[in-house]
A and B are shown apart, each in its own frame.
Chain A
Amino acid sequence: MNIEKLKSAHKLLNEYKYELGKIEKGYTNRTLYINVGDNTIKEKPVTQLMKDKFIGGKGFGLYYLWHAVTPETKWNDSENEIVIGSGPIGGITQYPGAGKSLVCSLSPLTGMAMDSNVGGYFGPLLKFSGFDALELQGKAEKDVIIFIDGNKGTITIEEAPEEAIDSHILGEQLTEMYAENEEDKRNISVVSAGSAANHAYMGLLNFTFYDVRRKQIRLKQAGRGGIGTVFRDKKIKAVVIRFAGVKGNLNNADDQGKINRTGIKLHKEIHDFDAQQCRMRQVGTANIIEVMDQYDLLPTHNYKFGAHPDTYKISSKVFTGMITQNTPDGCWYGCSLSCAKAVDHFELKTGPYKGQKVIVDGPEYENAAGLGSNCGIFDPHAVLELNFYCDTYAIDTISYGTMTAFVMECYENGLINKEITGGLELNFGNAEASLEMLHQMARGEGFGKLAGLGVRNLKKIFAEQYGADPVFLNDIGMEQKGLEFSEYMPKESLAQQGGYGLTNKGPQHDEAWLIFMDMVNNQIPTFEDKAEALHYFPMFRTWFGLNGLCKLPWNDIIPASNKHSDEPAKIPEHVQNYVELFNGVTGKNIDKEQLIIQSERVYNFQRIFNIRMGYGKRIHDAIPYRAMGPVTVEEYLSRAERYDGQLKELVGFNPEGKSTEEKMAALRAYREDQYQMLTDAVYKRRGWTMDGVPTIEHLQSIGMDLPEVIEVVKKHL
């Protein structure tokens, strides 16, 4: 790797010098705006209104994006922005999971505001360099790199023609290029995409951190919704930040001691209980692969089923043996939960890097389920290879897995054939075909290029160009709002159908995961109970994104106090920790109810943003029937006892002597009706009309009655 040669090819387009900032109680009170179209670089003040109403992180991102675009703006218009920011708590080093960056942009998949959260060091280092958020707007003519030196107070935009595009190489090149020496590499973080993001709509952004033990970069992904595609459309190759001098008190918190004590308490809990609970330190999120299978929740064969006899081949035990153990795998300092696992010296069998030994950042649960079981692929090596290539090519593993599962079902049903796939035999279980499709996506060729457009576009193409039955495609295509479902089987949990369907950005479980509370524990039996959960959890979980926090340390470790709690699902002791952290950093004095209202403001703002863009209504909250019940006879018969029982007990329909088709129709009518009744209850609880529009009274009551917001809402009431 000849770094000097790469660097000498750079052409400086603009250089900007700024005064180093000071952080006060979690805020630098300043953001950075860069337009790569005309090379503008400027600073913007953070207003009191932004802090009061939007808090930070995703709140700031949505606020800036709203004001950057019009209802007519498309994802690839130059005024679309990518906004990256942490949040007031982001960058503290004492509490696990406090280094998240939140990324917002208009999505190529949904046409609406997308938000995606990601680890790695960029967000905290951006704040320490003096900025609460970074706005990227415009489109460059040729590939550029933006470099922010947070110690020298300089920002440059440089044309950069020769570096790699794929993240695992580009991240290493730029870390080497911009670090002053080996010791300085830990102070660099790179944001980049990859070659598939040049073509596919499901492109992601990689955020690096430098692993001091492995002496190599690691990649964390802002995966959802195609923001990497927007990044490449702007011809941004990378954004690089350097900040040396991280300490535990750079946020200038109001009460550092309170933060330290809260953090140490959680470190101790993780030390004492993680090995018996989730084994996050040992195997990360992959710990639940076989658990999901045992509860019939692991999507297999495009969400037809929730379990498979071969799951043991990709169980957490298998991956535990492949992960390098006994290294602290936090994606920001102080994360003792350390779920950022890696497989070292992984030898690739296909593609442009065939034969090379690489680090695979994973496996995550979502990858094993999406790239693996959902596609009928139960080969751990294939799962890791797909994982690696998705990351470096910048493809969202969730969208890729769900899209591939859909395409495979279409192929097996003869809706598409080898002629259409260009020879790819996309049967369930064909790992080679999936890998080849992914390589095509990166090259922008053949069926892989088409597949990169995502399930929503494929449904249209298969129906219009290849004569496939659009009703069936809509039943089995697991997307909503244009975004592919994440990897949990929601059929037997009405609340989780709402957890996927009644969301802002599309069916991603980061708003609510209610399957156990609902299906197994039976804690939320009525529509009102479910609606309460579909109010509380999405609001609570939105809050992590406002503050630069990770959700996992909230409930992937359970404190001893929890068994005596009245509301164990909420993990009340940990909720209180977050109240302490917020107050400790900002000096404010919120309680757990005000925490929810902070989220409600931004949540409703995002809903109204969707409405402003022409979406965000009840019709957009409908979900495919595959998410609700058995679409095919095969599915019905596989769980016939369960479904027959429900017909008798819940539907009041005697299944005896009836054909499977008659039983399926009765069950479908019942389940679709249930979803509508749930939607009514949730809208009511959230203060929305029955068309899903937030009412003015509700907006006034939560303090989100900004004039520009009311103006949009008025037209829809």
Chain B
Amino acid sequence: MTAVVTGLGVMAPNGTDTEAYWAATLDCKSGIDRIERFDPSSYPVTLAGEVSGFDPADHVPSRLLVETSTMSHLALAAGQMAIEDAGVVPAELPEYEMGVVTANATGGVEFGQRELQNLWSGSPSDVGAYMSIAWFFAATTGQLSIRHKLRGQCGVVVSEQAGGLDAIGQGRRLLRGGHRMVMVGGTESAMSPAGLVAQLPGHLSRRDDPARAYLPFAADACGYVPGEGGAILIVEDARRAAERGAAHRYGEIAGYAATFDPAPGRGRPPTLRVAMERALADAGVAPADVDVVFADAYGVPHLDRAEAEAISAVFGPHRVPVTAPKSMTGRLYAGAGALDVVAALLSIRDGVVPPTANVTEPAPDYDIDLVVERPRPAPVSTALVLARGHGGFNSALVVRAAQD
């Protein structure tokens, strides 16, 4: 079974559809700016990658709007785009052979905060009926399944920022188990005051210049900017996709693996490298076959160092172009992996590696060939996408050009 991506849907801070996101990314246009969703002036963090051009009412019917949170609005919009892009008409296909797997890291955050406030500033009866279906982590998968009548196996993966890749890996498992099509990916939105404050104990950048705040792999990296959005993809059994005459074959999900870092104090090495090696082995490709690595790119010096070391250990120093288009969106948590996979597939399509924005060169002691400042034209047939989740989650996914 070969898993082939046939549809893409993107909701990103720098573009609210696939081509707009891709054009902005190649143009080094960032979606990071001062937070507008609420007044951030009392907080030490004032920047985020908000999906500002997005009016949910343009994409989601009003009845559905009220019972869902922003994370699900973004997914419903991206999911619709993906399914239209793929040209899949679920009603024409066996309903139990189509599933949905999304990743989510933090739930329906602004919805949850509003109802928590209703409860604690009011009484239990002030909590609305939709809280029970909007806040939890499975809300998005459930709504996508209902909206598109995808009645096969569904799932929800939570592994912080690694989740987007894990959801795609799980989707491929479903195809191997006999499903013909899966809708996979992830979207995130933690853009409420409580959502931002909850993230503060982490590694958020406290700079207020959008061009200097999130500088993965730079010598003066100082943390990351949070973002919202993500991507939804349609992945099909290649044979089935061919049978129905799918218009696009963006590429294959060729390999995937995940690991977890050892507990602190165990004296064992981190395991991102193992995840990368296993994903490559799963895809049956050698390091030399890989044309580009989409890095996790934490923007935190010790974590950038760990990733740079893992990449150069697998590929050799400066042997493979490395990039981080998320420097233009911020870290999207569960939305990040899927969005990076979209970028990787479009790199394959257009023969170009998108740049890492705002970084002029990597720190001198990182032995990586970081693509900076402008896109680099290059034939791309195989890409490795990396994602790490807070606490030690590592995932690696290999995409490659669709074979005939």
A and B associate: no
